[in-house]
Amino acid sequence: MPNSQSKNENLTKRVLIGVSGGIAAYKICEVVSTLFKTGVEIRVILTRSAQEFITPLTLATLSRHCAYTDDDFWQPIHSRPLHIELGEWADVFLIAPLTANTLAKLAYGMADNLLTNTVLASTCPLLLAPAMNTDMWEQLAVQRNWQQLLTDSRYHCMSTASGLLACDRVGAGRMAEPREIVTHIQSLLHTRGKRDLAGKRVLISAGGTREYLDPVRFIGNPSTGKMGLALAQAALHRGASVTLVHGPANWEVPLGVQAISVISADQMQQVMLKSLPNADAIIMSAAVADVKPRDYSTEKLPKRSLPQTLPLEPVPDIVTQLAQLKKPHQRLIGFAAQTGDIITPALEKLHNKNLDVIVANPIDLPDSGFGSDNNQAIFLDLQGHKLEIAPCTKLQMAHHLFDFVISEGI
């Protein structure tokens, strides 16, 4: 098959982290530690007020490199100006927590310390994770500054969460959790800040469905929905409006994603068909059941009453229905989880179900498929293109899939 190639993730990635003075600064320790464990090179800048909450020694130990402060900025010990070196070095620049003070400086282009000078001396994507008291966050001046940064394509801005704050107030202003920040950084390292799905609406199904025999017994599969979650995160970070229709799951839905929880294939069918007209891309990554018990008992069946043979009936073929209803501008992507030969059945599904792209992924290889944080796959499309994706995280897999689909004209 033509245009066969392989993707891998081997390039060194460099992340610069700016910490300003807020109690949420302690969360940056987890961000730094997690990134380092994934092979990312890290440099850290602390403002003077940030050092009231966390020490340079802590972050230097976690990043395996000295952490910089304003004392370093004003010392003539560098061959080149420190803010220039750091700004040119970074692939992605994170500021977290972003305080109201530093937010105002960014909005007005001020440069009165090492952190803000480095912002102006850099051109890489800049991720902002604000954190402050609810009343502070909702001040007109703060929101004006925030909205101003949202108009700058260089800034990638994470929403604040609501919850219990350090001041004992319950409300908006809570900084995004470290795992969300790390995921967004990983996306930016892949896309280099591109928002190539801006204005697009992406509809994703995820997880397994459950077809119940009675209130406690069901036919199901081991799907956890992690691949669908990664697809939703990747699409969101690339600027898309995302709707995620998912079966039972034990993960949190990312802020900014519209999530609709379902249990059975019938429920997923109803939601997917209702959501289809508004979508530009539809990705069926869910592991939908093939059959369901013909009869359902509203009460738990005693063990002695369980049928010796279980009458079954088919569930709706959601992918086929979506393919029949989709418009010419819409792209429908399916998944084929297979053992052994993964290409032949995937090609059959691609053509028989009138898909635009199919993802053939093995579920019988180590650290791949259901429940794993990693995956590997082969992408196939109707034009005969083939792209093999070496083992990688499911978030990386999601970005590779969007790269593939976008190149075909989503």
- Sheet order of strands, 155-157 included: 67-68, 41-46, 14-19, 92-98, 126-130, 155-157
290 is in an annotated binding site: yes
367 is in an annotated binding site: no
- Alpha carbon separation from 321 to 5, 35, 116, 274 (Å, rounded): 32, 42, 53, 12
319 is in an annotated binding site: yes
DSSP 208: B
CA distance 405 to 398: 11
Q: Is 124 a catalytic residue?
A: no
300 is in an annotated binding site: yes
Of the residues 29, 157, 167, 392, which is catalytic?
167
DSSP 252: P
Pairing of strands 258-261, 312-314: unpaired
Q: Where would I find the H helices in 176-250?
A: 178-191, 226-237
262 is in an annotated binding site: no
356 is in an annotated binding site: no
362 is in an annotated binding site: no
Per the structure block, which two tokens stand in for 323?
């393919």
Cis peptide before 97 (omega within 30 of 0): yes
Q: Is there a contact between 230 and 400 (Cβ–Cβ < 8 Å)?
A: no
Query: Residues marked as binding?
Result: 290, 300, 316-319, 335, 349, 353
Active site members: 167
Query: Residues marked as binding for CTP?
Result: 290, 300, 316-319, 335, 349, 353
